[in-house]
Structure 1
Amino acid sequence: MRNHWDVVEAGELMSRPGPDLIAGAPEPVRRLLEAVQALDPLIAAQRSQFDGARRLPDEVFAALADAGLFRLWLPGALGGPELSPLDFMRVVEAASALDGSVGWLVGNGGGMSRIGGYLGEAVAREWFADPRAFVAGATGAVGTATAVAGGYRLSGRWPFGSGAHHAARFMGLASVRPEDPVSPLLCCYLGRAEVTILDNWHVSGLRGTGSCDFEARDVFVPAAHVHPFLGPQPTQPGLLYRLPPVSVFAWSICGVPLGIASGAIASFAELACRKSRLGTRALLRDRETVQATVGRARATLRAARTFLIGAMTELMAAAETGGQRLVEARADIRIANAHAAETAMSVADELAASAGAAAIFESCALERAVRDVHAAAKHIAMSPNNYIVAGRLTLGLDPGTARF
C-alpha cells in the first residue's frame, strides 16, 4: 500500500469512483472516495434544485460536510486527514465527475481547511470543532485593513465567495496600504455575522456553488485571525503548509475541470450505447468517428493529468531545495493548470458535438458539463495568462505579477 505522500499513478483516469479505483486507493483516500460514491444518488435526486436556487440544497451540503469532504487539508494534529496534494486532487476529481458544482465546493472547502496550518492551534481547533465548518475564501479583490490595538479594522467587498450561503467563516484579502501595489497582502478571517452576503450569483455554469460577493464595513479582526497571504509562517510541520501559497491555492480547484471532463466521458459512453443519429438505426457507439473521438478524449485528458501530476510532484520536491528550481516549478504548475482546463473544455465540447442535438437539453449531463467546465476554466488559477508568466521567465524576464 502506498504511503501518505505517494504519487497517484499518471495512468489512472478519474470518472465516477468505481470499486476498482477505490480498492486501489490508500487510506484515508479510500474512505473519502467511498463517501463520494455513496453521495451519487442524493446528488442525482436533488440536482434539479442546484440551478434554480443557485446554491446546493442544505441536505446535499450537510452530506458533503458529514463525509469530511470540507476538511481534506486540515492538519493531522487537529484531527484532519492532511491529504497530500495528489490525493487531494484525486478526491476533488471524483466529486467533480459527479457534478461540477459539488466538486468546486469540495475543492474550495477542502482547500480552505489548510488554514489550520497557519492559524494558532487554539483558534484552529475552535473553528474546526464543528464538523460542518466551511470557510469561504475570496482573493479576487483587496480590501483595506487599518491597524489598531489588538488587530485590524477591515472593510471591503470580495467576489466569488463560493459556498457563501453555508459558510461559517469568510476570508478576504486586505492591504494595510492599498495605494501601494507591493504592500503585503493579509488573509483576514471574519465570522458569518460580520459580513453581508450579496445575492448576485446569476451565471451560466457552476450555478450550484452560490459564489456570491460578500462585504464587510469597519469590522474588527483580531490579530490572531490574520496571517500573510504570500509568506505565512506555518504553525504545523507538514510539507503541505510550506508549499507556495499561490500555487496551492490554485491547486485546490485545478482538478475540477478534469473531473468534469471525466464525468462527461462516462456520460457520453452511456448515451452512445442507446442513442442513434437521426435517419439511421446505427448506435453512436458503432461509428468509427465517435470511437475515435472518445479515444482521443481519453488520451488528451490522461496527458493533461500526467502533466499536472508531474508539475505538482516537482513543486513538492523543489519546495525543499528552493532557488531557481522552485521558481521554475511555480511556473510549470501555472501552465499545467491552464493546460488541464483547456484540455477539459476541449474534451467536453467535442463529446457534446458528437452527441448532437441531445446535448443542448438540460436533461442531458453533457449540457451541464459543458457550461460547468467553461465556468471553472474562467478562474484566474487556470487563466491563459499563466502561459505569459512561464514565457517571461523562460525569456529571462521577471514574472510580470506580484502574485507569484
Structure 2
Amino acid sequence: MLTTEVPTREQLVGRATELVPLLRQNAAWSEENRRIHQDSIDALADAGVFKLRTPARYGGYEADTRTLVEVAAELGRGDASTAWVASVYWIPTFMACLFPDEVQDEVFSTPDVRVCGTLSPSAMATPVDGGIVVNGKWSFISGAHHAHWQEIIAVLVPPEGEPMPVMALVPISELAIIDDWHTSGLKGTGSVSTAAQNLFVPSARVIPLPAILMGQYASKINANSPIYRAPLLPVASASSVGTVVGLARAAKDAFFERLPDRKITYTGYGSQAEAPVTHLAVAEAAAKLDQAEFHALRLATTVDTKSVDGTPWTLEERVKARADMGQVVKLAKESVEILASASGGSSIYTDVPIQRIARDIQAVNLHALMHPETNAELYGRVLCGQAPDTLYI
C-alpha cells in the first residue's frame, strides 16, 4: 500500500494553472498530429492530474468533483483537447474503482495509470469458462494512444435468457487501435477507434452494466470512500464540465489578448475597444460564462454533498445533473460564439487560437451525452411525470 501527501484543491488548481503556457504551446502540434503531445502528457503526470480519481491506497488523491471541475477549467484555458483527455481518463478511472478490489490491484499497479473508455455497447460478447470472449469495435476513444487500459461495453448474449450489456476492463495492448480520427474539432484528443477480435476477458474484470448504472458496485474497500459511492452518470457529468468552462475562459483570454491592437475595419473606430458593439458583446459573453460556471459548480456541489452525506439520489436529481451539464455546454458555446464573431476576419488564420476554440466547443456540443437539447428534454420529461427513456441517468 502506498502513502502519499495529498495536495489541497488550491494546490492542484495552481499546478494546472502553471501548465497553461505549455499546453498552449503544444496545442497546434496536437491538432496537427491528432493526439496529445507527449510533453503535455508527461506534464500532466508530474502535476498529479492522473491521480485525482485514484484510490489513496495506491498513492492517489481521491479528489472530489469540485476539484475536477476547477482543474479541468484551468487545463481547458491552455488546450481543450488536453483537458478533454484528462477529463475522459478521470471517468473510466472512477469506473475501474467500482470493480473487485483484486482487479484494482492489477490496474493501479501502473504508476499514473491512464484508463480510457466508452459507455457505448458497440461490441458483442459470449460467455466461456472463466469469463467472456469479446468481438467488436468502439469509436471516440479519447486518449487511447496514451492509455494503459480501456473500459469497454459489450452486449453479452447468454445461451438462455435476454442479452445484457456488460462493462469490462482490458489492457489497451490487447486491442487494435484504428487511426480514424480525422475531425473538425477536438482534433488533438486522438479519439480513435479500438477493436477486439476474439478477446478473452476473465470474469473478475466483467460487471453487468445495469448494476453499475444503479450504483451496485463490486469494490468492498472503496464502498467506504465518499467519492466512489456516487452514481456513475452524475459523476461523469461533473467530470466533463470543467473542460467546457475552460474553453469559454480560453476564448475570453484570446479575445482580450488581441483587443488592444485591433481596429474595426471600414468604420470610424480606431480601436475596437472603444466601440459600443464591443462592449455589448463582451458583457454578454462574460455573463454567459458566469452562468456556465454556476451550473458547473452547482453540479459538482450536488455530487460531492450527496456523496459525503450518503443520501439516496432521486430520479429528478439524477436527470438534473445531466441538465446542468447541458446548460454548461449551451452557455459556454454561446459565450465562445459571441467572442469569435467579434474577432473579425483575421481570426480565421490558423495561428489565431479563437478559431480552434470555436471548433472545439462545437465538437463538445455534438457529443451524445453532453448535447444540451438531449439533456434538457430528459429533464423536462421527468418534470412532466414521464419515465426516463434511457438507462443513462
Fold-level similarity (TM above 0.5): yes
Structure 1 unaligned spans of 5+: 1-25
SS in 1 for 2:356: helix
3-state DSSP class of the match of 2:170? strand
Correspondence for 1:393: 382
Shift of 1:65: 2.1
CA separation of 1:179 and 1:312: change in aligned 2, threshold 3 A? farther
Contact 1:93 1:255 in 2 (8 A): yes
Residue 360 of structure 1: aligned partner: 348
| SS, match of residue 261 in structure 2 | coil
SS in 1 for 2:153: strand
Instruction: State the distance in 1 between where 2:181 and 2:330 align.
Output: 24
Instruction: Tell me, in whole angstroms, the C-alpha distance in 2 between the residues paired with 1:44 and 1:382.
Output: 25
Alignment of 1:37-186 (within 5 A): 37-177=17-157, 183-186=163-166
Which residue number in structure 1 is paired with residue 311 of structure 2?
321
1:208 maps onto 2:198 in alignment: no
Partner of 2:364: 376
SS for the counterpart of 1:155 is: strand
* CA deviation after TM superposition for structure 1 residue 101, in Å: 0.3
Q: Report SS of the residue matched to 1:55.
A: coil
Residue 387 of structure 1 aligns with an amino acid whose one-letter code is A
| Higher deviation after alignment, 280-289 or 84-93 | 280-289
How far apart are residue 51 of structure 1 and its match?
Answer: 1.8
Looking at structure 2, the residues matched to 310 and 44 of structure 1 have their Cα atoms a distance apart, in angstroms, of 28
Q: In structure 2, how many angstroms separate the alpha carbons of the residues matched to 1:252 and 1:266?
A: 23
- TM-score normalised according to structure 2 size: 0.89
Could you say which residue in structure 2 is the equivalent of 1:403?
392
In 1, the alpha carbon distance for the partners of 2:65 and 2:23 equals 25
Aligned-pair distance for 1:284? Answer: 1.9
Gap regions ≥5 residues in structure 2: 1-5
Contact kept, 8 Å, 1:65 with 1:131, in 2: the verdict is no
Pairwise CA distance, 1:178: 9.0
Distance 1:35 1:129, change over 3 A: farther
Deviation at 1:241, TM superposition (A): 1.4
With over 3 angstroms needed to count, the CA separation of the structure-2 counterparts of 1:181 and 1:343, relative to structure 1, is farther
Amino acid at match of 1:285: A
CA distance in 2, matches of 1:159, 1:303: 32
Once residues 348 and 178 of structure 1 are traced to their aligned partners in structure 2, the CA distance between those partners, rounded to angstroms, is 48
Counterparts of 1:38 and 1:66, CA distance in 2: 12
Cα deviation code 1:306-331 (max 9, x no counterpart): 12322443345556332xx6211111
Between the two proteins, the alignment pairs up a number of residues equal to 377
Give 1:274 shift: 2.0
1:31 corresponds in structure 2 to 11
In the alignment, the residues of structure 1 paired with residue 380 and residue 147 of structure 2 have an alpha-carbon distance, to the nearest angstrom, of 38
Indicate the SS of the match to 1:259.
Answer: helix
Select the residue among 249, 274, 284 that pairs with 1:296. 284
State the identity %. Answer: 27
1:345 paired residue number: 333
Paired position in structure 2 for 1:285: 273
RMSD: 2.3
TM-score (norm 1): 0.87
- 1:184, distance to aligned residue in structure 2 (A): 4.0
In structure 2, the CA distance between the partners of 1:226 and 1:328, relative to structure 1 (3 Å rule), is same
Q: SS of the residue aligned with 1:289?
A: helix
The structural deviation recorded for 1:82 is 1.0
> Could you tell which deviates more after superposition, 253-262 or 129-138?
129-138
Partner residue in 2 for 1:16: none
Q: Secondary structure at the match of 2:236?
A: helix
Cα distance change on mapping 1:353 and 1:185 into 2, 3 Å: same
